[in-house]
A and B are shown apart, each in its own frame.
Chain A
Amino acid sequence: MSIDVLLQQIVNGLVVGSVYALVALGYTMVYGILQLINFAHGEIVMIGALSALFVTNALIAVGVPPALALVVAILAAMIICAIVGVSIERIAYRPLRNAPRLAPLITAIGVSIFLQQVAILVFGRNYFTFPEIISKAPIQIGAITVTMNEIVILITSVALMTGLLWLVNNTKIGTAMRATAENQKVAGLMGIDINKIIAITFAIGSGLGAVAGVMVASNYGQAHYYMGFMLGLKAFTAAVMGGIGNLWGAMVGGLILGLVENVGLIFVRGDYKDIFAFVVLVAVLIFRPQGLIGEKVAERA
């Protein structure tokens, strides 16, 4: 194994990992506030990818410049996903808020399957080609090859994550989100409408998921109704690895998972790539169930 190969895989790992991190944030934010694993989050990512793909193609078809079309499509996908995310919470999860925890978990799996079926109805079962708008021509930096598309993915992810951290730690609404995550009853006494905060949390997580969906679709050049499943599982793994409920944990977990997968590719054939995520998940659950930087799972008041 040469050092060049290793460096290349590290770069690839960071790109993929930053996407995992964005998706993992959606899991961890919802978990932090509702102690619910929103298994439908992967499908949100898929809906983001497919709706961005269709909007981009439609806009390009009527003569909009591709770069502008992509930007508009991403914004549209974020809005669509935010609406879907908030609706899921309102319709499927809120009525179960005081139910035993197994009920919303099973519901989340149901919602996930439901959204896949809706995607088949709306978009179809085909594999769609995502147009190459940001160049994927290789750029040589020393021994490493990257594409402009990958560079944009990395920069956008870092910007979004920085923005989210700033929002959560420095704004009134972010403080209210942390307060609600800690104690919903007392947050209510402060005049915080916790239903609104929960809706905002779903909207933000889904919006980030939409962008991640576009990143995946543009990076692999395709999107399909089933793409959210494996991606969602891996991002969930990343969130658990970092310590579910913890924003930093989701980001670090995503990056580590991306790195492990891609560095691991040096040693095994490409088709076995997906194994790493789950080996990591099992290992974390056995040896450090609270995650790498997770606190002890907080007891509920």
Chain B
Amino acid sequence: MSAVLDIKKLEVAYGGIKAIKGIDFHVNDGELVTLIGANGAGKSSTLRALSGLITPVGGKVTYKGQDITGVPSHALVGLGIALCPEGRGVFARLNVHENLLMGAFARKDKAQILAEVDEIYTMIPRLKERTKQMAGTLSGGEQQMLAIGRAMLAQPKLLMLDEPSMGLAPMMVEKIFEIIRLIAKRGTTILLIEQNAQLALEHANRGYVLESGEITLQGDAKVLLADPRVKAAYLGG
């Protein structure tokens, strides 16, 4: 297996304070890899650096052999990388259908786009019932589904999800993870950033544990799930 995404010695700083202290990790083709950690461990900073929202102060990000360190976010979409941002970030004053179409902004194949929008509607029927509704009027869970559907319309080879379960009711979290599993099954490589370590590790192939800007544990997701240190710190016992 080849690494689709390879991160070497990544460093992120805000002002003089280092949030990420030189971490290494990689995501192989077709894998679902999760980066777990407590609040403030640096998960979102890592993702922001990967997606061009902030420029890392050190290290190198390689995507399919190409150096993408500091490439602006709008240019990443064309390379096949989509980010589903923390807090969902749906366009509240655009309707559901328009939100989905914005996910396909960089593409020109209109007929294929509409076919894929229909696929999303089949996969997430809740959205189909609300195509003309403003996204701001959806529930949090529906917005998260919309954000994931929108990211899929960029036809990403690599999908990065930032805390998709945040602020959602447990039942809705289950539904979101069901959708993530479906996407992974279709062969999309996924990097999942999550606070809900239990669910993330249950679904992932491999995992990394981030603590105060450093990776402290890594390995097979099932092994991590059983690791007493992970259990103690993140799984409540």
Whether A associates with B in a native complex is yes
Whether B91 and A189, one on each chain, are in contact in the complex, defined by CB atoms closer than 8 angstroms, is no
- A190 close to B103 (CB less than 8 A): yes
Instruction: Select B154's contact among A172, A185, A190, beta carbons within 8 Å.
Output: A190
On B, residues with C-beta under 8 Å from A are 51-53, 72-74, 77-78, 82-83, 85, 89, 91-94, 98, 101-103, 105-106, 150, 154
The answer to whether the Cβ of A288 comes within 8 Å of any Cβ in the partner chain is no
Query: Which B residues touch A176, using CB under 8 A?
Result: 102, 105
Secondary structure type dominating chain A contacts? helix
Task: Tell me whether B105 and A194 are in contact (CB under 8 A).
Answer: no
Q: How far is the CA of A178 from the CA of B105 in the complex (A)?
A: 13
Interface pair B72/A188, CB less than 8 Å apart: yes
Number of residue pairs spanning A and B whose beta carbons lie under 8 angstroms apart: 65
Contacts of A172 in B (CB 8 A): 101, 105
A179 touches B94 (CB 8 A): yes
CB distance from B25 to the nearest CB of A (A): 21
Q: For the complex, is A129 an interface residue (Cβ under 8 Å from B)?
A: no
Measured CA separation A173–B85 after assembly (Å): 22
Could you give, for residues 32-70 of chain A, a 1 whenever the CB lies within 8 Å of some chain B CB and a 0 otherwise? 000000000000000000000000000000000000000
The smallest C-beta distance from B203 to any residue of chain A, in angstroms, reads 23
Is A190 a contact of B93 with CB atoms below 8 Å?
A: no
Instruction: Collect the chain A residues with CB atoms within 8 Å of residue B94's CB.
Output: 175, 178-179, 182
Contact of A191 with B83 at beta-carbon distance under 8 Å, contacts A172-B101, A178-B91 already known? no
Q: Do A185 and B74 have beta carbons less than 8 Å apart?
A: no
Q: How far does the alpha carbon of A186 sit from the alpha carbon of B93 in the complex, in Å? A: 13
Additional A-B contacts beyond A182-B93, A189-B82, A190-B102 (12; CB < 8 A): A175-B94, A176-B105, A179-B91, A182-B92, A185-B89, A187-B91, A189-B53, A190-B150, A191-B74, A191-B78, A191-B105, A194-B74
Question: What are 22 A-B residue pairs whose CB atoms fall within 8 Å in the complex?
Answer: A172-B101, A172-B105, A175-B94, A175-B101, A175-B102, A176-B102, A179-B94, A185-B53, A185-B73, A185-B89, A186-B85, A186-B91, A187-B91, A188-B53, A188-B74, A189-B82, A189-B83, A190-B77, A190-B106, A190-B150, A191-B106, A301-B89
